[in-house]
């Protein structure tokens, strides 16, 4: 029963993230562009808070969003956005660093 609940929760979170971010499905095309909405956003090697950083992104860098995934739970992003499992695989347009960021650090699409 727990596995069913966990899977159902993950599906609901993915659908909510896609709807909130204006996407249909759980991925975006390689041409989806946005920017970082906070400074010093850690670009992770994996969609986990404990994974190593590939680099950092900042407003003005711009980003290309490749896909959205379910990752570690983030209770508070520190920018007014709370409670998310949604992460995105991105490439920083200025530095060309790729990796995962929590979706709450993505600016308007």
pTM: 0.74
d(CA 100, CA 87): 6
Domain count, the chain: 1
CATH of the domain at 76: 2.30.30.40
- Span 13-50, pLDDT tens digits: 454 455 445 544 444 445 699 999 999 999 999 999 99
> What residues have CB less than 8 Å from 99, skipping those under 6 apart?
43, 44, 45, 53, 54, 55, 89, 90
> What residues have CB less than 8 Å from 45, skipping those under 6 apart?
51, 52, 53, 54, 99, 100
Structural domain boundaries enclosing 101: 2-105
Q: Two tokens at 56?
A: 């950092």
- Span 73-103, pLDDT tens digits: 999 999 999 999 999 999 999 999 999 999 9
d(CA 92, CA 34): 10
């Amino acid at each position: 029963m727990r596995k069913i609940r966990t899977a159902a929760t993950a599906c609901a979170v993915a659908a909510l993230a896609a709807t909130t971010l204006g996407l249909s499905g759980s991925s975006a095309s390689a041409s989806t562009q946005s920017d970082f909405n906070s400074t010093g956003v850690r670009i992770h090697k994996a969609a986990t808070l404990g994974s190593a950083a590939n680099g950092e992104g900042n407003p003005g860098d711009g980003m290309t969003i490749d896909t959205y995934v379910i990752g570690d739970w983030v209770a508070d992003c520190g920018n007014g956005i709370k409670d998310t499992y949604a992460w995105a695989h991105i490439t920083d347009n200025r530095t060309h660093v790729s990796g995962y960021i929590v979706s709450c650090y993505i600016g308007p699409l």
